[in-house]
Copies of this chain bind each other. A is one copy, B any other.
Amino acid sequence: MAVMRIGHISVRVMDMEAALKHYTNVLGMRVTHTDADGNQYLKCWDEWDKYSVVLTPSDRAGMNHVAYKVEKDAELDVLKQKIKDYGFAVAELPAGTLPACGRMLQFTLPSGHEMRLFAEKECVGTDVGSIDPDPWPDSIKGAGAHWLDHCLLMCRFDPEKGVNTVVDNTKFLKEVLNFFQTEQVMVGPNGSIQLASFLSLSSKPHDLALVGAPTSGLHHLSFFLDSWHDILKAGDIMAKNRVRIDVAPTRHGLTRGETIYFFDPSGNRNETFAGLGYQAQRDRPVTTWTEENLGRSIFYHTRELTESFINVYT
């Protein structure tokens, strides 16, 4: 399996100073590189590659691109051909296009999101190192996020006009990039329309999530925490830092994850979530959520979707 995991996400922020304060003090990331254009590169303490979040100065929020890492550089050639054969345009960006990062394949998902694939990025090691490591470093800040875990992309969805880029993205990601589906939300007549699709590359319930919406965008980028207790602590940290919280601690039906949603100062939604949930596997029966359980699939406790959660994204 060539594609391994989310490698990094590049997001736009409108106030870099506030953004850096947020991603370092609240999430606990640290800056590992700053480039000449003022882009900031950050990593979590439990990540070994040089960065997983790129913050770029802009006048509006949102995602520039999301990049997934493949195991070996040679696999990029195979994947490039497979993407072409699937009928998508694909460019190759040379090594160094992003600092400390090897060549990248660049293409556009049916939903309009830019996706990239790369195989090489400078390995700087986790903050506990690889020799006789402690389970966590002394220097943990804020919520102490372990790693960027996944993102949720809002995908253009207008079933009356025959538009459903959730389905289109899913098909491509499964057939070409070897993702497998773990869960889906089916709505409409006889539950025939796929409104949401959760995809994995690993034994985690999702490495990428897709949800249908009037326009495409970034719903959230999500960071892994170890436990429900760390979710409480994360909420406390957010409160101390006066972070705008969207949804207080609760559990998802989808993935069983324990979660808090909140916003960075530019309005990009973040999630901290905890719990393995279940062991995702390619032979595990796909979980299907029905329309009448839509609220419960997202917010398992209250079983009600909130306006902001559906309509606010970047």
Give chain A's interface residues, CB within 8 Å of chain B: 1, 4-5, 46, 48-49, 69, 71, 123, 125-126, 130-136, 138, 146-147, 149, 202-204, 224, 226-229, 232, 235-236, 238-240, 242, 245, 247-251, 253, 256, 258, 260, 275-276, 278-279, 281-290, 293, 296-297, 299-303
Contact = CB atoms under 8 A, between A and B. Distances in A.
A297 B235 CA distance: 14
B132 A293 contact: yes
Contacts of A4: 281-283
Contacts of A239: 134, 251, 296, 300-301, 303
Contacts of A147: 279
B240 A301 contact: no
Given A228-B232, A301-B245, A130 B288 contact: yes
A71 B283 contact: yes
A276 B226 contact: yes
Contacts of A293: 132
Nearest to A304: B245
A275 B275 CA distance: 8
Contact of A296 (B132, B297, B302): B132
A232 B248 contact: no
A279 B299 CA distance: 25
Return the 5 tightest CB-CB contacts between A and B, nearest first: A202-B203, A229-B229, A135-B256, A132-B293, A235-B301
A286 B228 contact: no
Nearest to A230: B229
Candidate in A149, A260, A284 with the most chain B CB atoms within 10 angstroms: A284
